[in-house]
């Protein structure tokens, strides 16, 4: 296994409007990094990928050293299932990459089309439940346009609470627990939000994501999104972490990854113990070199 150093930056929230009844698109989440001035130069603190995910990295190294059949009795069923899915995806990677490129390189590919192809040929195949759901309010619902003719599940992806931060996600990846078990939480968001917004639609959130400038915000951390969209992503990350803590209080951590895919980068944000970690991957030119779409928020729950 090649040693490659991936670092997660660390952020802290300074102020926000989470206590107000606002959708994610209007979220305000001011933040700063943790800085180290030890050597006279202010540098942002970062944590290595292996430090955060030591158990997973150690497991992969153990499997590599054990050989093809020497590891199956040493891991639990959920981990084994995840490894099998990962291996299956790698074996069929070329086919899935071809499907992704087919849609991403279409001049008329809509945001819905892109959400579907990512769910069908990447994220959905790697999710714990091996399923995904696309925002039921999406326009232009149709089969995956790569030619596989798979039709996705369009359903409610509302999250949060009407009295605080809330809104919809482009694509949700359920965990092992049935997504149906979480519908009561999501439906509260949708039903209350729709009733309220119908009375003030002209003044507030109209259910559609607003377009923002494609220019990168000038900040000291390595940021790939415009400032407003970045604050929206931070708000979503916090909500998912708190929801995970409420639903699964016995878990050792509640780091729900919020995956933000823009034309040239992929950014992963997680929250743990009131700190937000972010990781930016920019080596995706093979997929995004011809794409000029708005950012997509592909989030796991």
- Contact assessment for residue 137 and residue 168, using Cβ atoms and an 8 Å cutoff: yes
Q: What whole-number distance in Å separates Cα of residue 86 and Cα of residue 80?
A: 10
The pTM score is 0.72
Residue in 132, 162, 217, 144 with CA at minimum distance from that of residue 24: 162
Residue 238 parent element (H or E): helix 227-247
pLDDT by 10s per residue, the chain, length 301:
444 567 788 888 889 999 999 999 999 999 888 787 777 777 777 888 888 888 888 888 887 777 666 565 667 777 888 888 888 999 999 999 999 999 988 988 888 898 899 999 998 898 877 888 888 998 889 999 999 989 998 988 888 888 899 998 888 887 655 444 443 333 223 333 333 333 332 222 233 333 322 222 222 233 456 788 889 888 988 888 887 777 777 777 677 788 887 766 778 888 876 666 676 554 444 444 434 444 555 554 4
Q: What whole-number distance in Å separates Cα of residue 38 and Cα of residue 220?
A: 18
DSSP 108-146: T--HHHHHHHHIIIIIHHHSTTS--EEETT-SS--S-TT
């Amino acid at each position: 296994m090649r040693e490659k150093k991936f670092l997660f930056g660390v952020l802290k929230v300074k102020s926000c409007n989470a206590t107000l009844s606002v959708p994610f698109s209007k979220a305000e989440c001011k933040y700063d990094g943790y800085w180290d001035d030890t050597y006279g130069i202010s540098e942002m603190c970062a944590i290595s990928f292996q430090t955060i995910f030591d158990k997973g990295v150690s497991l992969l190294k153990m499997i590599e050293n054990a050989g093809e059949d020497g590891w199956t009795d040493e891991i639990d069923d959920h981990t084994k299932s995840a490894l099998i899915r990962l291996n299956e995806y790698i074996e069929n990677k070329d086919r899935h990459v071809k499907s992704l490129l087919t849609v991403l390189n279409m001049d008329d590919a809509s945001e819905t089309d892109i959400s579907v192809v990512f769910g069908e040929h990447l994220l959905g195949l790697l999710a714990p439940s091996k399923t995904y759901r696309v925002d039921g309010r999406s326009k232009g619902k149709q089969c995956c346009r790569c030619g596989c003719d798979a039709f996705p599940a369009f359903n409610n992806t509302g999250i949060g609470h009407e009295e605080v931060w809330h809104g919809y996600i482009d694509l949700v990846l359920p965990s092992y627990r049935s997504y149906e078990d979480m519908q009561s939480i999501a439906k509260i968001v949708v039903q209350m939000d729709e009733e309220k917004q119908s009375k003030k639609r002209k003044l507030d959130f109209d259910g559609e994501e607003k377009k923002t400038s494609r220019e990168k915000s000038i900040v000291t951390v390595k940021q790939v999104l415009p400032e407003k969209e970045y604050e929206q992503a931070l708000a979503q990350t916090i909500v998912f972490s708190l929801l995970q803590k409420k639903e699964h209080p016995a878990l050792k951590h509640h780091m729900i990854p919020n995956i933000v895919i823009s034309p040239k980068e992929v950014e992963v944000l997680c929250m743990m113990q009131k700190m937000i970690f972010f990781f930016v991957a920019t080596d995706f030119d093979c997929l995004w070199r011809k794409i000029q779409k708005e950012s997509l928020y592909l989030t796991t729950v």
